[in-house]
Amino acid sequence: ATEFEASKDHFEKNIDMAREAIGDMNLVSNIAEKKSFLQDSKKLLEECKKNIQQMEYYWQTLDPSEKGYYKGELTEFKHQYEGLKNDFNEYQEAIKRDQDDEESDELTKLQANTREKLLTGVGKLSDQHKQLDGIVKNGHETTEILRGANRNLVGQRGHIENAGRNNMVAQNELTRADRVVKKMRLREFCYKLILYLIIVGLFGGYIIVLIFKLK
């Protein structure tokens, strides 16, 4: 009977703590906290089950005169355990439903956020596509400008080449004119020299004639 009483004391202590843990689940709204109380009550109920198994074992060792009394208590303890176990199962199912609803809400939010991000991404892609179109357009315009500049450079190159050729012609003309001027100056010098010689000759002849007259 002593062992039975010890197991009985442990059972009553564990069943009260399990009942309190299950009751505390009504005081919180957070699913994580509810699951924590649920886990505590599950461990306590497992201890209660072990206590009942111990009492059943010790009951078999009792004297026949004691079995009738303790049989009633054992039946009552089993009834308390089964009732609390049913409450535990109901709370467990309720928490599972709440968790599923919460996960469903989270999934809905995630889908909404994903959709919003996708729409934002599509908008950004559209903007980038427009930017690329603008870049391509600017590229074509730049190409046309470069082609025009190239044509201008080709034209300017032609003008430069023509100017170079004209410069060469002018240089040749200047060289030719310089030779002509030099020839004219040489001819003028020769004319002046001949003229001076004639003058000197005439002056010399005049002197000679004058000398003959004086004699």
**Least confident segment among 2-6, 42-46, 165-169:** 165-169
Residue 184 in any domain: the answer is: no
Domain with 62, as residue range(s), is 2-130
Contact 74, 57 (CB under 8 A): no
Residue 186 in any domain: the answer is: no
Banded model confidence at residue 89, pLDDT cuts 50, 70, 90: very high
Q: What is the mean pLDDT of the chain?
A: 82
Contact 15, 84 (CB under 8 A): yes
Mean pLDDT value of segment 110-129: 66
Residue 149 in any domain: the answer is: no
Residue 27 in any domain: the answer is: yes
Residue 160 in any domain: the answer is: no
Total domains in the fold of the chain? 1
CATH value at residue 121:
1.20.58.400
Residue 179 in any domain: the answer is: no
pLDDT in tens, 8-53: 999 999 999 999 999 888 888 888 899 999 999 999 999 999 999 9
In angstroms, what CA-CA distances link 168 with 7, 33, 154, 171? 129, 103, 21, 5
> What residue type is 213 in one-letter code?
K
Eight-class DSSP state of 144? H
